[in-house]
Amino acid sequence: MRGTIPLGTVVGIKASAHWSLIVLLIGLFGVLLWQGTDLLLALRSLLLTGLLFLCVLFHEFGHAIAARTFGVRTLDVTLYPIGGIARLERMPAIPRQELIISAAGPFVNLLLAVGFFFWSLANGHNPGFSVSAQSPVSVSLLWLNLALAAFNLLPVFPMDGGRVLRAVLAMRMSYRMATRVTVWAAQVLAVGFAVIAIFPVPLFRNFNPVLLFIAVFVFFAARQEGNQPPRNPVSDTSATP
Strands (E), 20-82: 74-80
Q: What angle do CA 56, 58, 64 make, to 5 degrees?
A: 110
User: How many residues would you count in the chain?
Assistant: 241
Q: Which stretch binds Zn ion (CB under 5 A): 28-36, 105-113, 142-150, 193-201?
A: 105-113
Instruction: Specify the residue, 92 or 105, whose C-beta has the smaller distance to Zn ion.
Output: 105
Q: For the CB of residue 34, give the shortest distance to Zn ion in the complex, in Å.
A: 34
Phi, psi of 59 (to 5 degrees): -55, -50
Using CB positions, name the residue nearest to Zn ion.
105
User: Which residues, in sequence order, are CB contacts of 54 under 8 Å at separation 6+?
Assistant: none
Q: Which stretch binds Zn ion (CB under 5 A): 45-53, 104-112, 196-204, 208-216?
A: 104-112
Q: For the CB of residue 46, give the shortest distance to Zn ion in the complex, in Å.
A: 24
Instruction: Specify the residue, 45 or 237, whose C-beta has the smaller distance to Zn ion.
Output: 237
Instruction: Specify the residue, 45 or 238, whose C-beta has the smaller distance to Zn ion.
Output: 238
- Which one among 105, 136, 162, 226 touches Zn ion, defined by CB under 5 A? 105
Instruction: Specify the residue, 29 or 217, whose C-beta has the smaller distance to Zn ion.
Output: 217
Instruction: Specify the residue, 109 or 179, whose C-beta has the smaller distance to Zn ion.
Output: 109
3-state secondary structure of 17: strand
Side by side, the strands of the sheet bearing 4-10 are 4-10, 13-18, 74-80, 83-88, 234-239
Q: Which stretch binds Zn ion (CB under 5 A): 46-54, 117-125, 134-142, 229-237?
A: 229-237
Closest listed residue to residue 43, CA positions, set 54, 30, 60: 30
- Which one among 55, 238, 239, 240 touches Zn ion, defined by CB under 5 A? 238
User: Which residues, in sequence order, are CB contacts of 171 under 8 Å at separation 6+?
Assistant: 95, 96
Q: Tell me how far apart the alpha carbons of residues 230 and 167 are, in angstroms, rounded to a whole number.
A: 12
Give the residues across from 4 on adjacent strands: 18
Binding mask 158-177 for Zn ion (x = CB under 5 A): --x-----------------
Segment 122 to 161, residues that bind Zn ion, using CB under 5 A: 160
Enumerate binding residues for Zn ion (CB under 5 A): 105, 160, 236, 238
